[in-house]
Structure 1
Amino acid sequence: MIRTTLTSSRTLPQTLVLRGVRHASVQPATPAPAEDGGSIMDAFASTSIGAQVLPQRFSDLKKKLWHPSLETRWKEVLTELEVETKRIVTERDGGKEMVPRLPFSQIKAGAIDPELSDRIFKTGSVIIEGAVSEQEALKWKADILEYARINKEHVRGFPAEEIQVFEFYNSKSQTSARTHPNIVATQRWLLDFLPTSNKAEAKVSLRTVVSYYDRLRIRTPGDAKFALGPHIDGGSLERWEDSAYRSCFADILSADSKGWKEHNPYDITPRIDADMDMYRVGKGACGVLRPWQGWTSLSNTGPGEGTLRVFPNVRLANAYVMLRPFFSPKPNAGGSLKAEDWTVDLESTAFPGSAPGLGLELTDASHPHLKLEETMTSMPRVKPGDQVYWFSDVIHAVEKNHNGTGDSSVLYIPAIPLTHQNAIHLRKQVKNFSLGLPSPDFPQGQGESLNVGRSTPSNVVSLEARRVLGLEKFEVPEDAEKGEREVLEAWNDTFEKV
């Protein structure tokens, strides 16, 4: 079996084309037909269905939610944004890294620098360094390339002619990364970072990390196709339509609240019952409560090399995004961002950037006060084994062009806890994993069921790893509160060993 030995993401010894992807010494693969025509781009209106005019009920919804104090909050948010957008650009262009770095050693020691914690809270994103060695991460990538080579007739992804995002869910590298003790420990800390406003009753176990099977990316130099503009996952219109989801933003929208400055985006309690996929028609939804999205790097990569970008102020962005549908520019505003040039708009059905069943997209046209062309900030340079996480409300994007000289490669591994909803998904995921099928949230078909060397439940031997993947019962801590105990015991009561 041919292996590619890599010492860094820049030392790929030979050039090859795997369905157009240039990597190690692998023969060209025969393109496999898309089994359902699905791709990652189907999750966004701009790359799938285009702009939509919403029905009258969305005007009615705005009128239902409207109260005069929203106008005061809107003006406050615009004033704050004018200052914050200038700060972001000035500090970033002055050389400051806008995304905090947290050494894994602090997590392991249970002693997080308070200043770092405050910065994570503000930005909603973080880089975790030192949990996985460069050597181990590079071996994961080398093994993936070999897995792709020996199963070349079944490889598919986006774009089909030169794959950057692979429809792999069940490679052994992915399984090893998802169950890596230090990655699990990182995710347990991230989940513990989340407050619960009703801890005793909240039906969630934040210390029970479970895995969510996602894809992987190996983006090659020169690519300009895998370019996702600024967006927020977790549905779009649901934020206003679904009462439980809307309650996550009560301090922004509710007349009884103290105002948007009291908004805590991280409170997990109202999110547990939020319906982030009301329409069940699109591919922009996630079947789990996913507080932290994330990836683990398999390469050296940095700004300009096809990496992640974020807007580094989650609370302020949430306030603006949630208030935006209630206001529109005056006819003669001429592009002005001043509050006096915007007016209350309850008659139109517009919820900018939103479409049924899809994610929320943001542009300088739809959300101009964010000045996204200027403020979206690329992840600073990371090494193989570094982890990057961003909270589910964070506006994020992928750089339009990969102008580097080496691949920009990641395994998508978010941090999710056990809830009743997540347990339902986990059961489906376990079944698909055992059959080599795609993760339940993603384009279906034969997936990796015919692949040689894919990961299977029998490959996973440690008890902790098997629990993370949903292959064993969970331990119920003695100090578990009522809600936590309920979700853990419900899983254990209905558990069927694979």
Structure 2
Amino acid sequence: MAHYASSKKPGSILSAFKSDKDEELPEKYLSLKQELLNTNNLKDKLANSWTRLVKEIENETKEIKRLGPNVIPQVEFSDISKNGGTFPQNIAEEVRKRGMVVIRNVVPQDEALEYKEKVKEYIQNHKGEIAGFPDDDPQVWELYWSKSQVAARSHPNFVAAQTAMNSLWHAAPETLIDFSINTTYCDRLRIRKPGDTSFALAEHIDGGSVERWEDPEYRNCFKSILSGEWEKYDPYDATHRVNAIMDLYNCSGGCSMFRSFQGWLSLSTVFPGGGTLRVCPIIKLSTAYLILRPLLEDLVETTNMAGAKQGVQQHILPEFHQPLIDAVVSIPQVNPGDCVFWHCDGIHAVEECCNSVTDSSVFYIPSTPLCNNNIKYLARQRYALENGVTPQDFPLNNCEVDFSDRAKPSDLTELGKLGMGFTPLSLDAASTEKLSEGAINARKEFNKVLFEK
């Protein structure tokens, strides 16, 4: 099982953001820029494309400023349930435009609050044994296997919400992806104390940085943008996402699974200003801006990739991305049991101060549909649960190995076993008759990788 051992260094959530801003990238990025400009005649189309884009962002930003947090779509989980497990059409259109949503009352409030109390007991039981950020007073804990987290990840309502999020995507019929099955991605938790100013994350994007241009398959996701026709870009086409390499440089906290949406379950009542999430709710426009920015005149003859560095997440910086920062807004009030999801390419940040009388606490749990990259990761993650080690993507702290009260595979529900890759998927006619060729093959791959010796 040595091939499942992580090669990450010990650390915290800060490890994914550390970089030397003055460090120059290798010369290969200068050559890459020339290649990108020469492909599909982008060099001739760039100026006009950029002008159209900037104007559209200016118009959208005015609307965001007018609406404030209310620009973020909100929906009751019960409305999704009544609609057969998918978003009502008008809400779906708004979520796709904004790239994020708040889903209300996914988990009953008393259950969400119990999750928090139980995980606080877990932390107290192992005082001084758990890494976190900041070191002297952790707010984000390097914990993955508390029984509360494991239970939340497989809560039937939460899994249904994740599946609804996945259904907003599509792919070519032959693509190995099944949006009807959500795999489990095990992430950390946050318990941010009132008045805290330490856990303030500036605007950034997860899912890699230079990889978006450097990896050919990842770059294919943005082909329309790099052809000077950003209007044709579809942020919800997963055809090239399933095999894209998002972590070429072993980022500690760089996600190697395809997260259709990042997400969390709220364990607190948090208002705008209370240490909550901030987002840029123009996913198509912000992505086009990000991809084109290193190719503009001020950077094209340099190796500078406009906030993208090797081995860290994508930084969104005032000197390169000010119009996008201007469009960032805090999300509306959330309560225990509400869920928040944002697009995997979405710009997001955390408010500088937890200006609240209560904590701002969440379990990080994204949506991760069944696909090739995710199946490969499940094998490693399954091993991590069995042995209590840190999952592959995260800093190698291994805090929970000797915790007798951590979750074990025996603590998983049937739904939890399926999401974690402990149960094969059905391939009978009744289960697959409505699936695409690619979805069926994704299920076959799941069974082959995880259950064939």
**In which range does the TM-score fall when normalised by the shorter chain?**
over 0.9
1:65 maps onto 2:16 in alignment: no
Residue 84 of structure 1: CA displacement? Answer: 1.8
1:469 maps onto 2:420 in alignment: yes
1:153-232 matches, cutoff 5 A: 153-196=128-171, 198-199=172-173, 201-232=174-205
The DSSP-based 3-state class of the residue aligned with 1:54 is: coil
The DSSP-based 3-state class of the residue aligned with 2:340 is: strand
Indicate if the aligned counterparts of 2:183 and 2:370 stay in contact, CA closer than 8 A: yes
Residue 154 of structure 1: CA displacement? Answer: 1.7
Corresponding letter in the other structure for 1:411 = F
Alignment match, 1:340: none
Residue 431 of structure 1: CA displacement? Answer: 0.9
Alignment match, 2:118: 143
Alignment match, 1:121: 96
Alignment match, 1:397: 349
Alignment match, 2:442: 487
TM-score by length of 2: 0.92
**Can you list the C-alpha shifts for 1:94-147, whole angstroms capped at 9, x where unaligned?**
xx6011111111211126333222210111000111221110000000000111
Q: Which one has the bigger helix percentage? A: 2
Residue 419 of structure 1: CA displacement? Answer: 1.4
Alignment match, 1:357: 311
Indicate if the aligned counterparts of 2:108 and 2:337 stay in contact, CA closer than 8 A: yes
The DSSP-based 3-state class of the residue aligned with 1:472 is: coil
**Can you list the C-alpha shifts for 1:328-375, whole angstroms capped at 9, x where unaligned?**
45xxxxxxxxxxxxxxx53122211010121111122221232x1x42
**Can you list the C-alpha shifts for 1:29-73, whole angstroms capped at 9, x where unaligned?**
xxxxxx9541111111xx443332122221221111112112210
**Can you list the C-alpha shifts for 1:224-263, whole angstroms capped at 9, x where unaligned?**
11111101111111111111111111111126xxx11111
Indicate if the aligned counterparts of 2:130 and 2:142 stay in contact, CA closer than 8 A: yes
Indicate if the aligned counterparts of 1:150 and 1:452 stay in contact, CA closer than 8 A: no
Corresponding letter in the other structure for 1:141 = K
1:311 maps onto 2:280 in alignment: yes
Q: Structure 1: any 5+ residue segments left out of the alignment? A: 1-34, 330-344
1:422 maps onto 2:374 in alignment: yes
Report the CA distance shift for 1:186/1:192 in structure 2 as closer, same or farther (over 3 A).
same
Indicate if the aligned counterparts of 1:234 and 1:284 stay in contact, CA closer than 8 A: no
Residue 87 of structure 1: CA displacement? Answer: 2.1
Alignment match, 1:54: 25
Indicate if the aligned counterparts of 1:205 and 1:487 stay in contact, CA closer than 8 A: yes
Corresponding letter in the other structure for 2:315 = E
Corresponding letter in the other structure for 1:68 = D
Alignment match, 2:4: none
Alignment match, 2:242: 272
The DSSP-based 3-state class of the residue aligned with 2:122 is: helix
Q: In structure 2, which of residues 236, 256, 262 is the aligned counterpart of residue 287 of structure 1?
A: 256
Indicate if the aligned counterparts of 2:141 and 2:190 stay in contact, CA closer than 8 A: yes
Find the aligned partners of 1:241 and 1:353 in 2 and give their Cα distance: 14
**Can you list the C-alpha shifts for 1:244-301, whole angstroms capped at 9, x where unaligned?**
111111111126xxx1111111111111121111223x32521211111000000000
Q: In structure 2, which of residues 259, 265, 270 is the aligned counterpart of residue 301 of structure 1?
A: 270
Find the aligned partners of 2:402 and 2:416 in 1 and give their Cα distance: 24
Alignment match, 2:330: 378
Residue 189 of structure 1: CA displacement? Answer: 1.0
Find the aligned partners of 2:201 and 2:437 in 1 and give their Cα distance: 41
Q: Once structures 1 and 2 are overlaid, which stretch shifts more, 267-276 or 105-114?
A: 105-114
Alignment match, 2:227: 254
Residue 83 of structure 1: CA displacement? Answer: 1.7
Find the aligned partners of 2:351 and 2:96 in 1 and give their Cα distance: 24
Residue 433 of structure 1: CA displacement? Answer: 0.4
The DSSP-based 3-state class of the residue aligned with 1:250 is: coil
Find the aligned partners of 1:81 and 1:437 in 2 and give their Cα distance: 44
The DSSP-based 3-state class of the residue aligned with 2:240 is: helix
Find the aligned partners of 1:312 and 1:494 in 2 and give their Cα distance: 37
Moved over 6 A (4+): none
The DSSP-based 3-state class of the residue aligned with 1:119 is: helix
Indicate if the aligned counterparts of 1:235 and 1:284 stay in contact, CA closer than 8 A: no
Residue 303 of structure 1: CA displacement? Answer: 0.8
Corresponding letter in the other structure for 2:97 = K
The DSSP-based 3-state class of the residue aligned with 1:309 is: strand
The DSSP-based 3-state class of the residue aligned with 2:342 is: strand
**Can you list the C-alpha shifts for 1:160-185, whole angstroms capped at 9, x where unaligned?**
11000011100010011000000001
1:84 maps onto 2:60 in alignment: yes
Q: Once structures 1 and 2 are overlaid, which stretch shifts more, 477-486 or 96-105?
A: 477-486
Alignment match, 2:108: 133
Residue 157 of structure 1: CA displacement? Answer: 0.7
Find the aligned partners of 2:115 and 2:360 in 1 and give their Cα distance: 14
The DSSP-based 3-state class of the residue aligned with 1:455 is: coil
Indicate if the aligned counterparts of 1:284 and 1:357 stay in contact, CA closer than 8 A: no
Q: In structure 2, which of residues 179, 182, 206 is the aligned counterpart of residue 233 of structure 1?
A: 206
The DSSP-based 3-state class of the residue aligned with 1:147 is: helix
Q: In structure 1, which of residues 318, 327, 337 is the aligned counterpart of residue 296 of structure 2?
A: 327
Indicate if the aligned counterparts of 1:231 and 1:361 stay in contact, CA closer than 8 A: yes
Indicate if the aligned counterparts of 2:203 and 2:316 stay in contact, CA closer than 8 A: yes
Find the aligned partners of 1:162 and 1:421 in 2 and give their Cα distance: 35
Alignment match, 1:342: none
Indicate if the aligned counterparts of 1:236 and 1:359 stay in contact, CA closer than 8 A: yes
Indicate if the aligned counterparts of 2:143 and 2:188 stay in contact, CA closer than 8 A: yes
Residue 457 of structure 1: CA displacement? Answer: 0.5
Corresponding letter in the other structure for 1:405 = V
Q: Structure 2: any 5+ residue segments left out of the alignment? A: 1-7, 38-42
Corresponding letter in the other structure for 1:473 = P
